[in-house]
Amino acid sequence: MFLDLTENEVMYILPIGKVDPNLLKNIVFKHLGFPRKEVIVGPYVGVDAAVLNIENTLIIFKIDPITGAYKHQGRLAVNIVSNDIACMGGKPIAITLTILLPEKATADMIKEIMEEADNTAKKLGISIVGGHTEVVEGMNRPPIVVASAIGIPIRGNKVYHPKMVKPGDMILMTKTAAIEGTYIIFEEFKDKLKEVLDKDLIREIEGFAEKTTVIREAELLAKNDLVHAMHDPTDGGLLEGLYEFGEAADLDFIVYEDNIRIAKSTLKIAEIFHIDPLKLISSGVLLAAIPRDKVNEALNILSNAGIEASVIGSFREKGQGRIIKRKNGSIEEINKPVIDELWNILIRKHF
């Protein structure tokens, strides 16, 4: 249950996953330290990163943890934090990594995380410039990796912000929904899933490991100035990403499930676990608000780069509702945060 929280209403137990945006607005965002003039984009629901103006040079900054994935945290940490830089129209150039290890951790855990992070960062042209590594007393779960990143704008000194979105902008989506969630579930239940999934579906899922970055498509759209804003749906899946985008833009939207691409392997995983793939963590998908007259150009540029994309809906004036039209014709409102399906699966530990 999500509450319209005030500072006097904080004693209920929070659900697993992202904290309710109302709590962020009513508590977290009221305690932001000294208001420095260098901060030109600060924290807000649905805004992917902060932007600082340092002597007329824009610097984009972001921090992100990897908590739901119990394997391949090094690769995911680099990709996920870099995605948020890219969504602001930036090129990530440097990251730091904080690695929190459970009791009785071994050096092999650190080695695996750092080798993956190193390989991923090299592919993306990013330097790992520091961090912190610690064994945490009382921690009895797989490692948690927290990555921070800085970047610089791709196009001059311009960044893209959800407040730039206009009614009528089309909502473009790259790749397929629930890429990261499908991969995480497969890795967690690999032995059992290999018994029930066809080999072609397994190969498809194994290829998702390289698809959790949106840097390439975000750079193409920003470099060609084809967007008003971009956002990557993570915890809570595509529907949560749309909700956050609408919140940040202060607009409503309509999207059509028929237009949303979902991989065959994801559909099969969703069927096995009885979940909605549109509510499953979706790092690797880029949502972009595209002016209507630039949609065809954007689709062509992405297609020529080998990046699949589709238009799934449009933004509209506030008051018209944030809705998805399901394949069966029903209308579903997206007017509150979405709890990711992944958490229930990881808690159950079986299917």
DSSP string, 197-264: S-HHHHHHHHHGGGGS--HHHHHHHHHTT--SEEE---TTHHHHHHHHHHHHHT-EEEEEGGG----H
pLDDT average, residue stretch 215-220: 96
Q: Give first-to-last CA distance, the chain, whole Å.
A: 25
pLDDT for residue 121:
97
- C-beta of residue 324 within 8 angstroms of C-beta of residue 239: yes
Q: What's the token pair of residue 64?
A: 């992100």
Confidence of residue 349 (pLDDT cuts 50, 70, 90): low
pLDDT average, residue stretch 191-214: 94
- What SS3 class is residue 37? coil
pLDDT average, residue stretch 283-290: 97
Share of the chain above pLDDT 70, in %: 95
Confidence of residue 220 (pLDDT cuts 50, 70, 90): very high
For residue 135, pLDDT over 90 is answered with yes
pLDDT in tens, 170-197: 999 999 999 999 999 999 999 999 999 9
Distance CA 201, CA 147 (A): 31
Confidence of residue 2 (pLDDT cuts 50, 70, 90): very low
- C-beta of residue 53 within 8 angstroms of C-beta of residue 43: no
Distance CA 308, CA 261 (A): 9
pLDDT for residue 3:
47
- C-beta of residue 175 within 8 angstroms of C-beta of residue 284: yes
Confidence of residue 18 (pLDDT cuts 50, 70, 90): confident
pLDDT for residue 9:
54
Q: How far is CA 25 from CA 168, 245, 247, 260, in A?
A: 27, 16, 12, 30
Helices (H), the chain: 21-26, 73-87, 107-124, 179-188, 190-196, 199-207, 215-223, 237-249, 264-273, 295-304, 341-348
> What is the chain's mean pLDDT, rounded?
93
| Residue 155 DSSP symbol | B
Distance CA 301, CA 285 (A): 17
For residue 1, pLDDT over 60 is answered with no
164-168, 189-193, 254-258, range with the lowest pLDDT: 189-193
2-6, 68-72, 91-95, 315-319, range with the lowest pLDDT: 2-6
Tell how far CA 269 is from the center of its chain.
20
Share of the chain above pLDDT 90, in %: 84
Q: What's the token pair of residue 292?
A: 């209507």
pLDDT for residue 17:
80
